[in-house]
Structure 1
Amino acid sequence: MNIIYIHGLDSDANSTKGILLESYCQQHHADINVYRPDLNSAPAQVFEQLVKLVTALNGKDKTVLIGSSLGGYFSTLVSNHTGCPALLLNPSIQPHVTLQRFAHEFLELPENQILHTTAGGWEITPADLQWFADHQLVSINYPNKIEVLLKEDDELLNAELSKDFYQTQGATVTVQAGGDHRFTDFGEQLPMVIDMLQRLLSA
């Protein structure tokens, strides 16, 4: 099995959850390969990069995505495009709305104006926000290949919105009490996560 871990907004290839996942698989599942691409690029490039990676890996072994936050958004897009199964952790479903916080009160900005630079070095511009607006999540093409894990007390994104969207589309959604946006108990949940991924691959 190949797992592609897709990090969130202020993260990179060395994200805590990605490293925890890789270490766990090295210790307990030698047959699982974990890939942690750095995705601090414009969204069109990220999407193209992920589709190419999924296509390349699928020729060798079964591949599944894990996407956290904004990575959950990209995982959904890539799954819709390729049919690749995906497990989503507190996914962002409206980045064209939530990332407007970086635009502040400015209404008319050059499309190459830098609004915010993430911890990983991605310089967000109005053109990026427009790309997200042009690629909104409106449907799920393979709902039987999508599972969602949400934390009820996510302080950054509205868990209820995500739950309603994915459930309405027919995906399996699990809402866990408490928690936070970063899924700080991810390490403890890895045995369950691997079970979920194996179930998705057999769907």
Structure 2
Amino acid sequence: MAVLIYIHGFNSSEHSHKANVLKQAAHSLHVAPTFISPRLSWQPKVAIQQLEALIEANLSQGVTLIGSSLGGFYATYLTEKYGIKSILVNPAMQAPILLKDYLGPQRNPYTNDEYELTNDHMAELEALVVTTPTSNRYWLMVQEGDEVLDYRAALQAFPNVAKLTHEKGGDHSFTDFQRFSLDIFRFAEIITN
């Protein structure tokens, strides 16, 4: 059976709100084993290696990614590498530029991990930039009220997506995300009804 892999954002974790919403939905739909939400390293290169291992272990069954914020940036790179589908939720398409504002000591409020974000990590992000994504592999979800990212950058990066959810208002967490649970599992071809 196909799997859905959730990729959390910067200084987030596998227990973020969206991850929990999808985990509960997977249980309600009786497809819990199809939902994977890993804790990822704060180091971009290591996080990508973790995700590549997960994708490769499940590729024969079918893999769809869902990435939020920085997770959407990672998902884009991996979607192109493996030719799979992704759902991008308020994705940080300009991550190498945006995260420069966070250089220095960091503390993840979910995991309490403390680390230092450096220019070497920005170079790791630069290596993941996709300039011309294959738009028909993506479902792009943006809300104009995103207080962290400019939603227009995502719309510009993905001009002809397979599916677009573009809403006024909202915020970076994607307000009322749970409305889309069923459609997400359908897009991942885990459920058909």
TM-score (normalised: structure 2): 0.88
Render the CA deviation track for 1:126-169: whole Å, top value 9, x for unaligned: 210122123323121x32211111111111000011101111xx
Aligned partners of 1:151 and 1:180 also within 8 Å: yes
Identify the residue that residue 23 of structure 1 maps to in structure 2.
Answer: 24
On the 8 A contact 1:42/1:122 being kept in 2, the answer is: no
- Whichever residue aligns with residue 125 of structure 1, its letter is T
Q: What residue in structure 2 maps to residue 108 of structure 1?
A: none
Alignment counterpart, residue 190 of structure 1, candidates 178, 181, 184: 181
Contact 1:116–1:125, Cα closer than 8 Å, also in 2: no
Q: How does 1:42-121 map to 2 (within 5 A)?
A: 42-59=43-60, 61-103=61-103, 114-119=104-109, 120=111, 121=113
Give me the whole-angstrom Cα distance separating, in 2, the residues matched to 1:129 and 1:116. 14
The CA distance in 2 between the partners of 1:79 and 1:122, in whole Å, is 30
The alignment status of 1:146 with 2:147, answered yes or no, reads: no
Contact kept, 8 Å, 2:86 with 2:138, in 1: the verdict is: yes
Q: CA RMSD in A?
A: 2.2
Asked whether the 8 Å contact 2:89–2:141 carries over to 1, the reply is yes
Higher deviation after alignment, 83-92 or 24-33 = 24-33
Structure 2, gaps ≥5 residues long: none
Structure 2 residue matching 1:49: 3-state secondary structure: helix
User: Secondary structure at 1:187's aligned position in 2?
Assistant: helix
Give the match's secondary structure for 2:158: helix
How far 1:32 moved relative to its partner? Answer: 5.7
SS in 2 for 1:198: coil
In structure 2, give the amino acid aligned to 1:146. Answer: Y
2:70 and 2:30 map into 1 onto residues whose CA distance is: 27
Q: When the two structures are aligned, how many residues end up with a matched partner? A: 187
Instruction: For 1:94 and 1:12, locate their aligned partners in 2 and report how far apart those are by CA, in whole Å.
Output: 20
Indicate the percent of aligned positions where both proteins have the same amino acid: 25
Partner of 1:164: 156
* Pair 27,165 (structure 1): closer, same or farther in 2 beyond 3 Å: same
- Identify if the C-alpha distance between structure 1 residues 65 and 122 changes in structure 2 by more than 3 Å, giving closer, same or farther: farther
| Cα distance, 1:122–1:38 mapped onto 2, change above 3 Å | farther
CA distance in 1, matches of 2:129, 2:77: 9
Give the number of the structure whose alpha-carbon radius of gyration is greater.
1
Correspondence 1:175 to 2:166: yes
- SS of equivalent to 2:189: helix
The amino acid of 2:124's aligned partner reads W
Unmatched 5+ stretches in structure 1: 104-113
- TM-score with structure 1 setting the length: 0.84
Q: CA deviation at 1:40?
A: 2.7
Task: Give the conservation status (yes or no) of the 8 Å contact 2:69–2:89.
Answer: yes
